[in-house]
Structure 1
């Protein structure tokens, strides 16, 4: 069995590391908002919209990682191309992370007060 060429190792690592993010996007899309910093879906006004927003952002992170894998394959050992792909990956993933943090802070700000929570029984 032949080991993969050195030029294929980095693209394979990027493609494989994008799979858990894609799985997280699917789980969040199915309503598992607790995966996003312990969000309590019962305290949100519209949990379906929040789940769709975060699932879309996580899917975009996975897509950018898969595109980076293609970019690293295209670079094929050329250091200038690898640098361009790396910078684009850093900008896209970190930009999406900032977008997720902003969306999370907006959701947490709009949390219903615990006294209005029907599970506590207080008003």
Structure 2
């Protein structure tokens, strides 16, 4: 019998995936900075500073996209989407319509909803 995934499991898996995506953006950025240095449009010390700042920003974005609790951002997201329907996949999985988090193994509340562990969106997964 497989273990049900918790909010923390989904949140941590998604942070890892988003961190990988952000690191790919950082790598493309570094390539562009390298070209600028080679072309003489930027000094090496400026390039090092910019690359460090971009890498720190990317890491913050990967983690900062995941907010906990009833913050203003969570409330704004809930107001924007309301109580919404999941994206149904052919394989039976149900995904959050905001960032496509897999809600299939989450515990369903008595009213048939799941609160997405990533950003707090309330998704109606059962009648």
**Length-normalised TM-score, structure 2:** 0.38
**Length-normalised TM-score, structure 1:** 0.38
Structure 1 or 2: more strand by fraction: 2
